[in-house]
Amino acid sequence: MENKFHFFHYLHFFLLLSSSCYSLVAFSWIPYNENKNYEGSSDLVNLEYHMGPVLSSPIKLYVIWYGHWNPSHQAIIRDFLSSFSSSSYAPHPSVADWWRTVRLYTDQTGQNISTISLSGEFFDFKYSQGKYLSRLSMQYVIKNAVRSYLTVPYAWVGYSGKQCPGFCAYPFAWPKNSGKPPPNTRNGGNNLMGAPNGDPGVDGMISVIAHELAEVSSNPLVNAWYAGDNPISPTEIADLCLGVYGTGAGGGYVGQVYKDFRGNGFSLHGVKGRKFLVQWVWNPLRRRCFGPNAMD
């Protein structure tokens, strides 16, 4: 599980997106670890429900753009977030199809995780809390945006192109501290997977954002759905499937994914003809990692 902090409220979720390349509480994408890859069905995964709440009321997502953002980068992320709505049109397999797996998780009353929709945006162009964000300063950024004292769930994601391309932009950047071949090849080679929207940094952020949305919805108070005995550092539903993007994933291979006409990899369709590469999550019914682009 990444270093993140959850706050619970039934209606609103804040996604703090920072263009800064520095942070004291940096969101970091955990490098691929095949020991945590359970693409196949497994009884070894002890994912349990700990009786806490999930986000079962309609989730209204608000984005805070922190710092200076390229409008084209914002458009990619905005289109991805708009693709979560079940009313958005996109061919199968779609982002909305991917969210249906997350919605399989329930609370103790049997209520499923709800729908998610992009409901608003806030802009903090001047780095009001500086370029070094602590957990406290992130809460100030959110408080200043909403001008209220409500506590809400949030996740912070930095721009992968500056922050941690070797981790956060995986698999569009060479894995940091890895001598292995790029993750899209089985037999070696020097060609990295192409980013479907033309920007490895932002395209790498997409899966990180999806990862966080899935986990904060299924484990907002860190007392709902997770594996392991340590609630301080639980293994959540997306952690179980790190590095898994398609059927057959393992050993640094992301699995079978689609290619666009330029040869760029993707797994999901979004609005406006967008394509995205998004990791799988643990399916509680199939008891394995699963995504709508599965070949089996």
Q: Which domain holds residue 156?
A: 12-290
Q: Is the pLDDT of residue 288 over 70?
A: yes
Q: Does residue 162 fall inside a structural domain?
A: yes
User: Cβ(266)–Cβ(195) under 8 Å?
Assistant: no
Tokens 């700990």 locate to: 50
Q: Does residue 181 fall inside a structural domain?
A: yes
- Look at the pTM and tell me if it is higher than 0.85: no
Q: Does residue 95 fall inside a structural domain?
A: yes
Confidence class for position 26, pLDDT limits 50, 70, 90: very low
* Strand bridging mode 275-276 / 268-269: antiparallel
Summarize the confidence of residues 96-104 as an average pLDDT: 98
User: Exposed (0-12), middle (13-18) or buried (19+): which is 51, by Cβ within 10 Å?
Assistant: exposed
Q: Does residue 252 fall inside a structural domain?
A: yes
Domain count for the chain, please give it: 1
- C-alpha 276/C-alpha 207 separation (Å) is 8
Q: Does residue 148 fall inside a structural domain?
A: yes
Q: Lowest mean pLDDT of 108-117, 169-178, 180-189, 253-262, name the range.
A: 180-189
Predicted pLDDT at 281: 98
Q: Does residue 3 fall inside a structural domain?
A: no
Model confidence over 50-62: pLDDT tens digits?
A: 999 999 998 888 8
Q: What is the dihedral of CA 272, 275, 281, 286, to 10 degrees?
A: 90
Q: Does residue 85 fall inside a structural domain?
A: yes
Q: Does residue 116 fall inside a structural domain?
A: yes
Structure tokens at 179: 């001598």
Confidence class for position 29, pLDDT limits 50, 70, 90: very low
